[in-house]
Amino acid sequence: WVEITEKLFFDKMREQRTLADAMRDKVANFIGITPRIKLVEHGTLERPDGTIQLFVDHR
């Protein structure tokens, strides 16, 4: 899941779909696996201890 800003989350369905497709294609081209991308409203992903969880896979 990917959080996006409130500005893009509301009223811009076409832009959301384009963003999700571009992200999916970039990940697929980089690691060879096609992910499912789900855009969610900013602030909805749970973060333990209020910290931002970052994940970088350099395969």
Tell me: pLDDT of 23 over 60: yes
Residue predicted with more confidence, 27 or 44: 27
Tell me: pLDDT of 56 over 70: no
Residue spans per domain, the chain? 2-50
CA distances from 40 to 12, 22, 35, 59 (A): 13, 16, 16, 26
Which among 17, 58, 22, 55 is positioned nearest to 39, based on CA atoms?
17
What pLDDT score was predicted for residue 4? 65
Tell me: pLDDT of 53 over 80: no
Confidence of residue 25 (pLDDT cuts 50, 70, 90): very high
Q: What is the mean pLDDT of the chain?
A: 75
